[in-house]
Structure 1
């Protein structure tokens, strides 16, 4: 409707009154609300302007600014320029793997790539109710404390455990922001940072953006291998290690209790910090055993900097999380936090607080746990049928994805476009590699698709692509 009206008024001289609201309702046989929305779009584009008591009028045509020669920017943005080269630490903002995780699948594509809950899995009623209550809160439009609302910090401290208190917690804009803040606070440009191999693409991108050098450390079914970690810490003198302790992205591995103690002790001996990205804490499945407490819970020496987020189990738009730590490092984290974002908006914090303190919070989490379990079972069966019995080294009872190995004759770079042609979006293993080498794996997410049956159908569509020619 807006486009049709725009074509009509483009022929009118400036200052001409356009058709009335009532006339447009009759012309398009539409509701008054729809006509108002169309006129609002045209007003945003500067094509019309209302005059109270008189009507709506055609505005002056906006001058068209033609694109000039922007090729000079290529040299200006070259990171290998004189200043960058002299510093010895170059920041890199090339993040295709991270951007791919945010790509939107078309209407004919089943999304096995996305890492956020499909709206059908989100607690939409609870979120809407929480936002409504938050908007009416007396503090909704006051400036919140830089570290976050005290009540929300209290909740995060209790949720994380280990005797943490309000003063040990900073509220931040979810996990990715917390990771970037922690890396900026703990390391200097040019420093190495040790990461799991394979690892979350956001960790690689955040390290590069801070001018850091990610160094991969091998994993096994119990998480980061301590023998390799010990040698890497000694060789690189890295001051930061990043781990995902539960249902790691992409492998699904969880660090065993004994391994957690070893990693923490090694880091302490080498005077390094452990960034504990506990993104999947609330994504345990209904048949999972009781998860061990986070590494920060048994860390009196302040070795661990803990990251917790609400985004994965609610909505990608509820970008609220926390950083927790003990000791002088918190002052550094607080400064980096303020420089990065000043504050997290109070309405968003209040909405998060309303969500997690509502009577239905535990019920919503239990329902999600059951739904994730069902989707995992469906996805696992489909993978074993399509890819073979040896495709899954791990079958995690938490998280939202499976790490699937490919047949020896097939490369992921061949499979990804072929799968897309079949109407299925999947994530290449390369996205999780520090060196961008092929890992001969793909990650299949089972939470972004509309239903479990969609997941099942999409995975089975891949079967013909796996047959050796």
Structure 2
């Protein structure tokens, strides 16, 4: 039994037993609980800590655990209606109202109910995460000299150097001095948007695009302006037209295995995208979220846009979170020129710094042979999962099978029949026991057609992907009939 499951089960059992004890009465000693429930002393200790955090027990070192005395709770019912004005009033009618619509992000972050197969998330399942290597790295990191001291505000030097090599390639196109360590990719995107555009300004985004980009832009008071993508990525002539029409000074894109389409920006368009932005006096924010998620049949990957940009047009964002663990929130921003100091200042004001033990753990992880083995394992597994989902779609829902499959990332982008109610279909799928992501949150403006995004990463295995698509067929039969 997994340690986490043992702790949860013991907590549930002890909660039920607490009614047998009077407030202040001592619970059985840990040794007795170990024997009664056949668990380890560590499991007992963790379960009691959970109950203590819930206010149900009190632990006293050397004395044991006691049932907590009930606390008198008298919630005050205040008047919060004033907040409607405070959150909505704008100093200028020209400003874009700030708001945080996290619905599109929550659809991929929320853990589905028990029994529901997850084809909506954006993280690897526990079976594909390097959890043993992470645990060992964290333990070693905590023993490093100075591990609990304040880190440099820009990040630990060795970790900045590692990211610089990843971003710039073997030619050293990026130096450690041009890298800032961030608390994951989403934090880096938010920092970049705030640095490059003032409140009320337009910012160009791919259409469709990752909902987290749209949410971060709108929460910063920015106005996302969509630029359509096709099978080769963003269309440069439309990008140039959008810069002229909007006056925007930033374009956010995902050139490699774009979310949600899986598109890779073609070689000609890579050069043209940076050239168009440079001519407009604008920045390109390169969200390189999927470089470590290439499948084993992906072939050689193109370098980052930042590696081919000596003029500082590209601000690069990347992270270890997707490939390692949702909890390893360590990423990087890479930029050149005066913008780097602005990025640094905003990050310092927002979060001071990324905790040093987490940075040291990331260094320990990527510096071991287990890291390369993990990358190879994930590359092979993602390919198998992709092929499993494609075969299941061809068998169960052939009309929805995508015309091409990305060789990186963790999702498929499905075009639905015209007039399909995406929300109704996603709800029907949940009732059928599978979670999927509707396409609407991926568009900054009106979408040309309804879509679904299916993720093959979070499922427990290939059998679960097969069953998830079968359940989706049942939902489609209900909604599309």
TM-score w.r.t. length of structure 1: 0.93
Structure 1 partner of 2:383: 373
Structure 1 partner of 2:10: none
Matched residue of 1:120: which SS?
Answer: helix
Q: 1:25 to 1:384 in 2, by over 3 A?
A: closer
Residue 18 in structure 1 maps to residue 30 in structure 2: no
Q: Once structures 1 and 2 are overlaid, which stretch shifts more, 54-63 or 187-196? A: 54-63
CA–CA distance in 1 between the matches of 2:238 and 2:384?
36
**Aligned pairs, number:** 463
The C-alpha deviation readout for 1:22-56, integer Å capped at 9, x for no partner, is: 69639955557355444434433445445555555
Structure 2 partner of 1:357: 367
Deviation of the 1:126 alpha carbon = 1.5
Q: 1:20 to 1:421 in 2, by over 3 A?
A: closer
Residue 62 in structure 1 maps to residue 89 in structure 2: no
Q: 1:31 to 1:286 in 2, by over 3 A?
A: closer
Structure 1 partner of 2:15: 3
Structure 2 partner of 1:158: 165
Q: 1:54 to 1:224 in 2, by over 3 A?
A: closer
8 Å CA contact 1:279, 1:309 repeated in 2: yes
Structure 2 partner of 1:40: 49
Q: 1:55 to 1:416 in 2, by over 3 A?
A: closer
8 Å CA contact 1:284, 1:398 repeated in 2: yes
Q: 1:40 to 1:281 in 2, by over 3 A?
A: closer
Q: 1:3 to 1:70 in 2, by over 3 A?
A: farther
Deviation of the 1:339 alpha carbon = 1.1
Q: Once structures 1 and 2 are overlaid, which stretch shifts more, 42-51 or 118-127? A: 42-51
- Within the candidate set 442, 449, 470, 1:432 is matched to 442
1:400-419, aligned counterparts within 5 Å? 400-408=410-418, 410-419=420-429
CA–CA distance in 2 between the matches of 1:265 and 1:78?
40
Q: 1:51 to 1:117 in 2, by over 3 A?
A: closer
Matched residue of 2:364: which SS?
Answer: helix
Structure 2 residue runs of 5 or longer lacking an equivalent are 1-12
Q: Once structures 1 and 2 are overlaid, which stretch shifts more, 220-229 or 376-385? A: 376-385
CA–CA distance in 1 between the matches of 2:31 and 2:390?
58
Matched residue of 1:360: which SS?
Answer: helix
The C-alpha deviation readout for 1:134-193, integer Å capped at 9, x for no partner, is: 111112201110000000000000111152111000000111000000001111000000
- Within the candidate set 331, 354, 360, 1:344 is matched to 354
The C-alpha deviation readout for 1:281-306, integer Å capped at 9, x for no partner, is: 11111111211101011111100000
Structure 2 partner of 1:392: 402
Matched residue of 2:162: which SS?
Answer: helix
Q: 1:5 to 1:305 in 2, by over 3 A?
A: same
Q: 1:20 to 1:146 in 2, by over 3 A?
A: same
Residue 229 in structure 1 maps to residue 236 in structure 2: no
CA–CA distance in 2 between the matches of 1:27 and 1:377?
47
Structure 1 partner of 2:152: 145
Q: CA RMSD in A?
A: 2.2
Q: 1:35 to 1:297 in 2, by over 3 A?
A: closer
CA–CA distance in 1 between the matches of 2:329 and 2:152?
17
Q: 1:457 to 1:331 in 2, by over 3 A?
A: same
Structure 2 partner of 1:269: 279
1:99-114, aligned counterparts within 5 Å? 99-114=106-121
Q: 1:41 to 1:320 in 2, by over 3 A?
A: closer
Residue 132 in structure 1 maps to residue 139 in structure 2: yes
Residue 314 in structure 1 maps to residue 328 in structure 2: no
TM-score w.r.t. length of structure 2: 0.90
Structure 1 partner of 2:123: 116
Matched residue of 1:216: which SS?
Answer: strand
Structure 2 partner of 1:443: 453
- Within the candidate set 184, 187, 195, 1:185 is matched to 195
Q: 1:463 to 1:68 in 2, by over 3 A?
A: same
